Amino acid sequence: MRYIGNKQKLIPFIRDALAELRIKGSTACDPFAGTASVARFLKTHGFSVTSGDIMAFSHALQWAYVVVDQPPRFAGLASVVEIDGDPLAAVLDHLNSREGEPGFIYEHFSPDGAAGAEHDRRYFTPENAARIDALRGRIHEWTTASRINDDERFILLAALLEAADRIANTTGVYAAYVKSWQPNATRPLHLRPPRLATGTGRACRAFRCDALELVSGLEPFDLLYLDPPYNTRQYVGYYHIPEIIAEGWFLQTPTLRGKTGLPEDGNKRSDWSRRRHCETIFEQLVDAARCRHILMSYNSEGIIAEDCIERVLRERGLSRTYRRLEKPYKRYRSDRDSENRRYKCDHVTEHLYYVTVS
């Protein structure tokens, strides 16, 4: 999934850092899980992982990629789906064969819906929007009828979220849509099997909550991996449509506003993206963590000052063990340079900060 701060391409850097820094243990916490790429890696690398995030779509991805440890059976769908061979493939084939049913996404985020037409919202073609509605509706129907369990529900939600993102008419974030249809947006919505990390035998957990709240309530664990937001963008506004798809609109219809259809953000705005708050809450979280190792991923454009990071980590852990590793990489760009916006550079440096706590 296209996501600001996605660490998938930096997994080898993190893997090498674990080896170089000799970070060992069996339990880890990732309280800023995002797309769950690092949490999934930690699970496959030998850790029982506790992950968290305030966003519902992140929670769905965490559950699918971190919590699930057995291939889904979909036993409750035996009378609905012809399962011959791989149950997940059969269920996805069933969903992929469904016709579109115009609903909330069609109405608000395609140009053929009444609300979408008012603002000419071109997030999805009408055909794809109607199919997102149909598939999300079917997942909700199976859930309320107890035909699928939590593991199966979140696996299907992850598949739908990733499929919708692949055909979204955006440059990678949902703060705006492209005025003309991009090639990816005209392709039909198609669900693919998520790359599940099963058979590890490790018990993992996923929470939808604030990072400080999660870490403060945890029993002692080995590794705290931190990947807080780097800038002042509020993720609730940049990923509001995946959030709506994850939460659904069946029990409570979201109230939308503005040209892009933003919902009320409630308690999803984060102090980690506020310059006057992020350093204070960073220190609070580090102080609250009962762990043996702290590894923090942060890039050279982050809003938490580097001297603050070093001071807090040295004071919390054994100062002599403090390390900073770095790796340059191509920066995330949601659009091209224009008269109204110019990026400072095409590359940034990813830093890994480390300290041994005990």
CA distance 225 to 330: 22
CA distance 306 to 282: 12
CB-CB neighbours of 202 under 10 Å? 17
The model's pLDDT over 236-248, given as tens digits with 9 standing for 90+, comes to 778 999 999 999 9
Q: Please, are residues 177 and 116 in contact by the beta-carbon 8 Å criterion?
A: no
| Phi, psi (deg, nearest 5) at residue 6 | -60, 130
The strand ranges marked E within 291-340 are 291-299, 323-330
The model's pLDDT over 14-70, given as tens digits with 9 standing for 90+, comes to 999 999 999 999 999 999 999 999 999 999 999 999 999 999 999 999 999 999 999
First and final C-alpha spacing in the chain:
36
Tokens 């005990």 label which residue? 358
Give the confidence band of 344 by pLDDT, cuts at 50, 70, 90. low
Nearest by Cα to 101 from 75, 135, 71: 135
The strand ranges marked E within 203-330 are 205-208, 221-226, 256-257, 262-263, 291-299, 323-330
How far out from the chain centre does Cα 198 lie? 19
Write out the residue limits of the CATH 3.40.50.150 domain(s) in the chain: 1-69+203-234+271-358
CA distance 300 to 104: 40
Average pLDDT over residues 221-242: 86
Q: How many CA within 13 A on the CB side of residue 272?
A: 23
Give the confidence band of 340 by pLDDT, cuts at 50, 70, 90. very low
CA distance 43 to 31: 14
The model's pLDDT over 97-152, given as tens digits with 9 standing for 90+, comes to 999 999 999 999 999 999 999 999 999 999 999 999 999 999 999 999 999 999 99
CATH topology of domain 1-69+203-234+271-358: Rossmann fold (3.40.50)
pLDDT at position 346: 61
pLDDT greater than 60 at residue 336? no
Q: Rounded mean pLDDT of the chain?
A: 92
CA distance 115 to 106: 9
pLDDT greater than 80 at residue 87? yes
The model's pLDDT over 178-218, given as tens digits with 9 standing for 90+, comes to 999 999 999 999 999 999 999 999 999 999 999 999 999 99
